[in-house]
Amino acid sequence: QSVLTQPPSVYGAPGQRVTISCTGGWSNIGSGNNVHWYQLSGTTAKLLLSHNSIRPSGVPDRFSGSKSGTAATLAISGLQAEDEADYYCQSHDNSLGASVFGGGTKVTVL
């Protein structure tokens, strides 16, 4: 089981808004550690958001993030077919002394 918990799957129609939660604990997200988000598809991986909500250059503003307490959320608005992929959150865990990922969420565009 992953230290950070994500829903296994999320579904949405084109144009809809979907959200992906990433729930941790007081040794990681809750201790103030930032959450980063990635998009993986096939053999390709891409940074979507760093420091909870900062979009790197080239990432559409349809992707947004937030953090509160021991959880973080990735939101995708105006869902597009190309957004169909696996999404992972990442943070640092103080107790483990290592970077940890969520279990991943598969986004399916209906």
Partner 1 sequence: QVQIQQWGAGLLRPSETLSLTCGVSGASFSEYYWSWIRQSPGRGLEWIGKISHFGITAYNPSLKRRVLTSIDTSKNQCSLRLRSVTAADAGLYYCARTTVDKNFYMDVWGKATTVTVSS
Closest CB 59 distance from partner 1, rounded Å: 11
Q: Which residues bind partner 1 (CB under 8 A)?
A: 2, 33-34, 36, 38, 40, 43-47, 50-51, 56, 88, 90-92, 96-104
For 30, the 3-state DSSP assignment is helix
Judge whether 17 and 79 are in contact, CB under 8 Å.
Answer: yes
Smallest distance from partner 1 to CB 79, Å: 22
Specify whether the CB–CB gap between 31 and 100 falls below 8 A.
no
Q: How far is the CB of 15 from partner 1 (least distance, A)?
A: 29
Pick 73 or 105: Cβ nearer partner 1: 105
Backbone angles phi, psi at 74, to 5 degrees: -105, 130
